[in-house]
Structure 1
Amino acid sequence: MNITIVNFKGGVGKSMIAHQLITGFGFRGCEVDPYGSLSDRLPEQVEKIEIQEKQLAQPKQATIFDFGGFDDVKLDQAVAYSDLVIIPFIPTLETIQGTVDTLVRVAPMNKPILLVPNMSQKENDINDAKFVFDETLGFEVEMFALPMSVALQTAINENCSILELSNQGGIKAYAYRKSANLIRDLHEKIREYNS
């Protein structure tokens, strides 16, 4: 299956989620972000698409399209190729408008949307954001929360899957198990959208 990960607000965890799906579950990556580092971190698995390019090739295997924090003509192509659109956001006032703008842009494309409140700390903040999103769209959008996690940031810093870190045994396995289970659960949720 193919997945587009997008939010017009930067710094909400798009590349972190893409990194963990690519390193943990064998997706290929397609980075559409001139400031992104995913293709530098994972050069064997991620192709960098230059901003001036107007076309995305049809993916030949399961692909994650990782977009930067902006709108782009290639977004329509990526969503057309995708089975699911993931929109990560941080449940704060500062990120709500960019997320609303993203939802309004992708909802008419008639692809399933999964909102991922990232670095979430308070359930009330998630519920407030969900209310705004549902009101804006006129229908409910499913959510999968990723709480604040130093372990996930460690996996990115070490350029590996959190699943790999949790399999190392000892103290590391204990420290990373909860975040690894969250990423596994996210992957299971994603698989529910496989057409």
Structure 2
Amino acid sequence: MPHTELRFTVEGTAAAVRDARRRISSAVISWQVPVDRDLLFRLELVASEMLTNASQHAGGPLTVESRAERDSGLLVLTVVDAGRARPRPCVAGCDHESGRGIVLIDALSLFHGTEYTDSGKRCWAVLPLSGHAAPDGEEMPGNAEKDGRRDGDSARWTATEAGANLLRLLFPTFPAT
């Protein structure tokens, strides 16, 4: 299997964001994982928004990590910066040039989040690899009803093996199954 991980550091500038976006896209193509034009477009847009947010709000060097997890059919993109402020959606007027990044990331990824590190924060987004959709009829955790209530109302939930693998990718201290 080809190498399916990328990690590099860039300065927090507009030119660096553009170059990083292209570098991520090129790396994913070289990994020979199932990608199509739609995924590459979404990946580049999500990467651009994450990097732009980090450069505008945290500045300094930004660490970019990307990896493909073939078994679960997921692509994980991470940007680490020295800022402590959690990215938040804001209301942007039609004339505003910025303020839509988090809304775009939310719309284009399966899910995304932020976790604090000792030196700042790590923002991540997960996108599906092309051709990897949930099997027909498969319920996502929290969607099935039990005794008139939804699983999401319960204090407990379970992850599929693919979900557990993803959690281990995002959070290396997640327990092994």
For the aligned pair, the TM-score class normalised by the smaller chain equals under 0.3
TM-score, normalised to structure 1, is 0.26
Structure 1 or 2: more strand by fraction: 2
Which protein shows a greater Rg?
2
Structure 1 or 2: more helix by fraction: 1
Which has the higher relative contact order, 1 or 2, with Cα contacts under 8 A spaced 6 or more apart?
Answer: 1
TM-score, normalised to structure 2, is 0.27
